[in-house]
Amino acid sequence: RMYKSRTICRSDIDSFEAPFLAIYESLIPPEEEKAQQKQLLTLLEKLVSKEWPNARLYLYGSCANSFGVSKSDIDVCLAIEETDMDKSDIVLKLANILQSDNLQNVQALTRARVPIVKLKDPVTGISCDICINNLLAVVNTKLLRDYAQIDSRLRQLAFIIKHWAKSRGVNETYQGTLSSYAYVLMCIHFLQHRRPAILPCLQEMETTYSVTVEDIECSYFDQVEKLRDFGYYNKENIAQLVWGFFSYWAYRHDYANAVISVRTGSIISKQEKDWTRRIGNDRHLICIEDPFETRHDLGRVVDKYSIKVLREEFERAAEIMQYDPNPCVKLFEPY
Ligand code: ATP
Ligand code: MG
């Protein structure tokens, strides 16, 4: 039974395509919500440009990378050249600027690891975090959005995986499990590895987009409208892909040696990255290379306790996908 579950998919797997697609569709944010987010951004831009005419605001994270489900908070980055102020001073000043009749609960969190301003729009209830000069996040947001445009199965898979991770309590970096960003990278990597491949490796292709941020050169092929047929020869549907994703992370990933790398579109070794030992709090128990900050392992938040939790959840999900009569319900049952 165990052997079988590692290799061959159940014969009725295709009957779950429609229910998985229905779940995906129920998670997509309605147009109205997108419009409200834009309105809030416009208000913020107006308030900021009065004080700092050269500053710019960028949306990043799930509100801009196309992997945001309905009712997500929005992530905003203030890009500003203020050489004489550190980030916590900027955050304090920004909170003052934004304190207006139209906004509620504007808070400056100056002592957080990443200083931010938090606020809430009282009309729509949208919450927003504003960070300062985190332009790498803006660039990796674009990379994710570009990948999503190549094949619709990426967005479907990532929504299902994020929904599963939130339902099962394994999307909490402060508890040692993985960020949404890490799960999306896992999905991209998985689709780069299907045979035939469903996604290409954009960073290995001709450069059509290039920016240098914090001394890191970020370049890749971003003319994704030319790649719309890329996954044509692979006919797998969302149910098969969810099954394959969990069976990979439950039974086939080499946790001892392997690093998944969207940047190279392949698996590289921990040895090569020098991620074989614990250094400080970085233990490298599950290794996901950031596509641009390549020294950065998105699995570094995972500790010896939470790795067990994660792997048990992957195994539970794989078993459900293989044997459960009703996987589209069972997978998302609260823990
Ligand atoms: P959610 O829908 O759960 O809010 P999200 O896509 O906004 O998902 P977060 O994990 O909240 O994901 O991260 C927001 C953004 O911040 C990511 O899209 C990414 O651009 C950036 N980011 C998050 N974690 C990291 C990290 N460890 N290294 C680099 N960038 C990160
Ligand atoms: Mg977010």
pLDDT tens-place string over residues 298-332: 999 999 999 999 999 999 999 999 999 999 999 99
Distance of CA 86 to the CA centre of its chain: 28
Pocket test for ligand 1, best of 62, 214, 293 (most atoms within 8 A of CB): 62
Give the Cα separation of 284 and 275 in Å (integer): 6
Strands 74-79 and 127-132: parallel
282 band by pLDDT with thresholds 50, 70 and 90: confident
Residue closest via CA to ligand 1's atom 27 equals 298
Measure 333 CA to ligand 1 centroid, in angstroms: 24
CB 91 within 8 A of CB 132: yes
2 band by pLDDT with thresholds 50, 70 and 90: low
Structural domains of the chain in order of their starting residue, each with its CATH number: 2-27+151-330 (1.10.1410.10), 31-136 (3.30.460.10)
Pocket test for ligand 1, best of 28, 69, 181 (most atoms within 8 A of CB): 181
Give the Cα separation of 141 and 249 in Å (integer): 24
Lowest mean pLDDT segment, chosen from 13-22, 25-34, 272-281:
272-281
What is residue 1's predicted lDDT score, i.e. its pLDDT?
Answer: 45
322: Cβ below 6 Å to ligand 1? no
Residue % of the chain over a pLDDT of 90: 89
State the sign of the Cα–Cα–Cα–Cα dihedral 6, 9, 10, 13.
positive
165: Cβ below 6 Å to ligand 1? no
Going by the DSSP 8-state scheme, the letter that residue 226 receives in this structure is G
141: Cβ below 6 Å to ligand 1? yes
pLDDT tens-place string over residues 134-160: 999 999 999 999 999 999 999 999 999
Measure 2 CA to ligand 1 centroid, in angstroms: 35
279 band by pLDDT with thresholds 50, 70 and 90: confident
pLDDT at 5 over 80: no
Measure 140 CA to ligand 1 centroid, in angstroms: 9
Helices 238-247 and 17-27 pack at an angle, to 10 degrees, of: 90
Provide the whole-model pTM.
Answer: 0.96
What is residue 264's predicted lDDT score, i.e. its pLDDT?
Answer: 98
